[in-house]
């Protein structure tokens, strides 16, 4: 007979499997790339611990040819993984940021956070906010990290989140605009790429497949065991009474035709506009592409196009 640690309790392939004994098997993004200089992009990176309590680090990226007193737009990047897997040190995150930092000529901070089920929400939100406060401590050029003191322009700060990282990025900008302003931060724009939003009832164009909706519901219970359901504002911003308090003036949202989350990206923009938020908004929809395609294939035509849209948004 199989031991409890080997008996499957929940299967959330392709992300994780959870066994009855409590063991968690993560299925993707387990490889780790150490910090290094990338000669192809001329970008250097290093890891800095921001939370000794939880052994959490950020990975900083800087174009090598940056002049001593040159100030660059600051990108804070939140990685995906469904809140249950992934790390900023995985190739899928690292390789993308090397290229993007080079193309946009920015300094980037890639934020790692704890994963569920060992660390359910709000751990990812709490960790990300702690990282942001650490980053913000450099706005007067007196923080602990020289790259941020020397090169980051805190009047041109952008948050970017992919998949679950989009959920995190949105929540961070809401918190900044509504609850606790980050001192020294001027959040110029928010970029959401295939954000992980959902809801109890299907919206027009969204899948009504019972298996898919059950998969999302059960996964969310793992991510947030104390959840009130799929209309919790953490996963369904349409139910957030403070949506109009989004703490930036520009939003760019990317969706893809073959992504099950596509309609939620459009719906987010609709509800954000209906909330009374008065900023500028842009939605880019890629035909024939799947969830996070731009990370899976960095060189395809649409991935190159998406990065160009990123760069234009930051540098306009």
* Active-site residue identified among 110, 163, 256, 303: 163
Asked if residues 233 and 199 have their Cβ atoms less than 8 Å apart, the reply is no
| E strand intervals along the chain | 8-12, 16-19, 24-26, 37-38, 43-51, 56-63, 72-78, 107-111, 152-162, 187-193, 250-256, 280-286
User: What's the CA gap between 297 and 314, in Å, rounded?
Assistant: 22
CA nearest neighbour of 202 among 153, 149, 261? 261
Is 259 annotated as catalytic? yes
Active-site residue (options: 38, 224, 259, 294): 259
Q: How many CA atoms lie within 13 A of 16 on its CB side?
A: 25
| Catalytic residue of the set 138, 176, 194, 291 | 291
**DSSP states of 193-246 as a string?**
ES-----SSPPTTS---HHHHHHHHHHHHHH-TT---TTSTTT-GGG-TTGGG-
Alpha carbon distance 186, 175 (integer Å): 14
Catalytic residues: 163, 259, 291
């Amino acid at each position: 007979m199989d031991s409890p640690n080997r008996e499957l309790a929940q299967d959330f392939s392709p992300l994780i499997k959870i066994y009855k004994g409590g063991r968690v098997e993560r299925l993707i993004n387990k490889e780790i790339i150490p910090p290094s200089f990338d000669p192809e992009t001329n970008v250097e990176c290093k890891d800095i611990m921001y939370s000794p309590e939880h052994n959490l680090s950020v990975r900083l990226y800087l174009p090598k040819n940056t002049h001593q007193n040159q100030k660059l737009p600051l990108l804070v990047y939140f990685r995906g993984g469904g809140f249950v897997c992934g790390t900023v040190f995985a190739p899928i995150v690292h390789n993308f940021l090397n290229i993007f930092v080079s193309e946009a000529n920015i300094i980037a901070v890639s934020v790692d956070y704890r994963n569920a089920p060992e660390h359910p929400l709000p751990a990812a939100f709490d960790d990300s906010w702690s990282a942001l406060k650490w980053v913000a401590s450099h706005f007067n050029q007196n923080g602990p990290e020289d790259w941020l003191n020397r090169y980051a322009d805190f009047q041109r700060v952008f948050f970017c989140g992919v998949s679950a990282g989009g959920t995190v990025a949105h929540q961070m900008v809401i918190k900044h605009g509504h609850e606790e302003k980050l001192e020294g931060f001027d959040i110029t724009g928010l970029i959401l790429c295939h954000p992980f939003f959902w809801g109890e009832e299907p919206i027009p164009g969204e899948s009504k497949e019972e298996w898919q909706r059950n998969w999302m519901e059960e996964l969310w219970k793992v991510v947030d065991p104390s959840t009130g359901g799929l209309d919790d504002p953490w996963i369904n911003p349409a139910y957030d009474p403070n949506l109009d308090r989004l703490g930036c003036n520009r939003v760019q949202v990317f969706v893809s035709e073959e992504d099950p989350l596509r309609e939620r990206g459009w719906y987010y923009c609709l509800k954000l506009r209906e909330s009374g938020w008065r900023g500028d908004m842009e939605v880019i929809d890629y035909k024939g592409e799947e969830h996070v395609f731009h990370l899976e294939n960095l060189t395809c035509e649409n991935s190159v196009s998406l990065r160009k849209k990123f760069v234009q948004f930051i540098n306009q």
